[in-house]
Amino acid sequence: MASYQSLTKEELLQEREKLLAEYESYKSKGLKLDMSRGKPGAEQLNLSLPMLDALNSVSDFTAEDGTDCRNYGVVDGIPEAKRLMASLMGVQPDEVIVGGNSSMNMMYDAIARAMTHGMCGAGKPWMKQNKVKFLCPVPGYDRHFAVCEHFGIEMINISMNADGPDMDVVEKMVNGDEAVKGIWCVPKFSNPSGITYSDEVVRRFANLSPKAPDFRIFWDNAYFIHDLYEPRVELLNLFSEAKKAGKEDMVLMFSSTSKVSYPGAGIAALAASRRNIEIIKKQMSVQTIGYDKMSQLRHARYFKSVDFVHEHMKKHAEILRPKFELVLSEMEKELAPLGIAEWEKPLGGYFISLNTMNGCAKQVVALCREAGVVLTPAGSAYPYKQDPNDSNIRIAPSFPPIGELAVTAKLLCLCVKLAAAEKLIKQKM
């Protein structure tokens, strides 16, 4: 079919008739599907079942350092859990704190501490500073932005290129404005665009010269081992690069096993310079006696080595890859020829970022919802939920079974076409 732009008003009206009829038939199916969040599907959850047998009533609960994991103590994680997370994150075990079940919680806590006590001993509490700003590469992760909004931190959109955030703007703002205290990054398989930062972008991050001594790069490496294909995509190690520049205090890196073992029952980790770690540990020890060491031990015992983890992640990939490819091929077939939408083809992570024609995203999401398919609300990937172009839709293909996903993908493409046709018709009136 020819691109929608090339159609006459009459042709578009006919096309809309056809699309509407098809849409009504979907509505009559009474669908009830959810593609709103990056949740693993049931098949993936089954992959980590053997981990649940790693600890039972006859296990030995002694960590390598002699700690009885059933009792109080050890605020920063047992040695074997620290070593596992450190080796996956490319840092040393003493550069890691293993926390609770959520890296998001660790990020929130880091910012909450900065609000009341300043960031890791550098500078005044953010609540006592005139203004605190964060740079937000967009589209980005809604929960990052929600933390900033919660704490009244002003968010500044930074546009994303194919190799990462626009570093010219990042450098200018970070190096020139003392109110800029942080930047949110999902550097590998970025949420939602799926892109991975290039070596050059990582090096430019490592060499930032922030005007604010309490500026930190929030490096949320959520999808650090979540490749869909072999060979794995290599992300340059920001921490090593920052060390070369003597700037490792500027970096806070986060990861978790939420999508390796279990969301909500995984383990999360923060990696940072020894200086930062020392300060954070001291502050954390006021908040808690320690996180769940049984969960840490369960993970360390089951996920024996980095190699074992990568093998495990291949099994996730085998389940996820067909889901991504199904949605992408449907979009390729249905949308690409019409010139009404754009997207990246992600090599990992949990999302496909779809850009419709400007002004159509909200309508597409509403149309899908009316037909029984819940997508992430349009605008979610932007600070204050404001997508300036109303064009971005985050698609999360992981959760639905593949049979349902086929229906969903078709419905999604239909709704994108319908919204585009209506927009073009209006333009021609």
Interaction site with a copy of itself (CB under 8 A)? 37, 39-40, 42, 45, 48-50, 52-53, 55-59, 61, 68-73, 100-102, 104-105, 108-109, 112, 115-117, 125, 127-128, 143, 146-147, 150-151, 258, 262-265, 283, 286-295
Shortest reach from residue 260's CB to a copy of itself, in Å: 12
CB closer to a copy of itself, 193 vs 256: 256
Three-class SS state of 216 = strand
Shortest reach from residue 292's CB to a copy of itself, in Å: 5
Residue 7 CA, distance from chain mean position: 38
Shortest reach from residue 108's CB to a copy of itself, in Å: 4
CB closer to a copy of itself, 37 vs 310: 37
| C-alpha distance from residue 213 to each of 43, 178, 282 (Å) | 46, 8, 20
The b/e string for 41-63 (b: 16+ C-beta within 10 A; e otherwise) is beebeebbeebeeebeeeeeeeb
CB closer to a copy of itself, 123 vs 125: 125
Shortest reach from residue 215's CB to a copy of itself, in Å: 20
Shortest reach from residue 121's CB to a copy of itself, in Å: 14
Query: Are 205 and 236 within 8 A, CB to CB?
Result: no
CB closer to a copy of itself, 3 vs 287: 287
Q: Which two tokens stand for residue 106?
A: 């660790």
CB closer to a copy of itself, 103 vs 408: 103
CB closer to a copy of itself, 21 vs 289: 289
For helices 402-427 and 9-27, give the axis angle rounded to 10 degrees.
150
The b/e string for 181-204 (b: 16+ C-beta within 10 A; e otherwise) is bbbbbbbbbbbbbbbbbbeebbbb
CB closer to a copy of itself, 192 vs 210: 192
Positive or negative, the CA dihedral 125, 127, 131, 135 is positive
Residues contacting 165, CB < 8 A, separation 6+: 135, 137, 158, 159, 183, 185, 197, 201
Shortest reach from residue 77's CB to a copy of itself, in Å: 11
Shortest reach from residue 285's CB to a copy of itself, in Å: 8
Residue 39 CA, distance from chain mean position: 11
Residue 279 CA, distance from chain mean position: 27
